[in-house]
Structure 1
Amino acid sequence: MNRWTRRGLIAAVIAGAGVAGIWFGKSRLPALSPATAGDAERLEAMKLADAEGRPMPFSAWRDKVRVVNFWATWCAPCREEMPAFSRLSEKYASRGVQFVGISIDNADNVRRYLQEEKIAYPLLIGGADAIQLSSDLGNAQQAMPFTVIFSRDGQIVERKLGAYKEAELDAILQARAR
Structure 2
Amino acid sequence: MTVPTTSASDAVPQTLADRTPVTRRRALYAGVAAAAGAAGAGLAWWRLRPAPAQDGAQQAVWTQVFDTPDGARLDMAGFSGRPLILNFWATWCPPCVEELPMLNAFYRENRSNGWQVVGLAIDQPSSVRKFLTRLPLEFPVGLAGLGGSELGRSLGNLAGGLPFTVVFGAKGQVLHRKMGQVTSDDLQRWLALR
Question: What band does the TM-score fall into relative to the shorter chain?
Answer: 0.7 to 0.9
Q: Which of residues 142, 147, 150 is equivalent to 2:160?
A: 142
Gaps of 5+ in 1: 1-20
Counterpart in the other structure of 2:61: 43
Distance 2:136 2:50 in 1: 33
Counterpart in the other structure of 1:7: none
Amino acid at match of 1:24: A
Change (3 A) 1:30 1:39: closer
TM-score, normalising length from structure 1?
Answer: 0.78
Regions of 4+ moved over 2 Å:
23-33, 38-41
Q: May I ask how many residue pairs the two structures share in their alignment?
A: 153
Counterpart in the other structure of 1:68: 86
Amino acid at match of 1:117: L
Deviation of the 1:147 alpha carbon: 0.3
Change (3 A) 1:77 1:94: same
Report the 3-state secondary structure (helix = DSSP H, G, I; strand = E; otherwise coil) of the residue aligned with 1:110: helix
Gaps of 5+ in 2: 1-40
Greater mean deviation of Cα atoms: 23-32 or 103-112: 23-32
Whether contact under 8 Å (2:104, 2:139) holds in the other structure is: yes
TM-score, normalising length from structure 2?
Answer: 0.72
Deviation of the 1:46 alpha carbon: 0.5
Whether contact under 8 Å (2:122, 2:143) holds in the other structure is: yes
Counterpart in the other structure of 2:73: 55
Identity of aligned residues (%): 29
Larger RCO: Structure 1 or Structure 2 (Cα < 8 Å, ≥ 6 residues apart)?
Answer: 1
Counterpart in the other structure of 1:112: 130
Whether contact under 8 Å (1:27, 1:162) holds in the other structure is: no
Counterpart in the other structure of 1:122: 140
Whether contact under 8 Å (1:150, 1:158) holds in the other structure is: yes
The answer to whether structure 1 residue 176 and structure 2 residue 193 are counterparts is: yes
The answer to whether structure 1 residue 95 and structure 2 residue 116 are counterparts is: no
Whether contact under 8 Å (1:105, 1:127) holds in the other structure is: yes
The answer to whether structure 1 residue 133 and structure 2 residue 151 are counterparts is: yes
Deviation of the 1:32 alpha carbon: 5.7
Change (3 A) 1:32 1:136: closer
Deviation of the 1:131 alpha carbon: 0.7
Distance 2:121 2:51 in 1: 26
Amino acid at match of 2:118: V
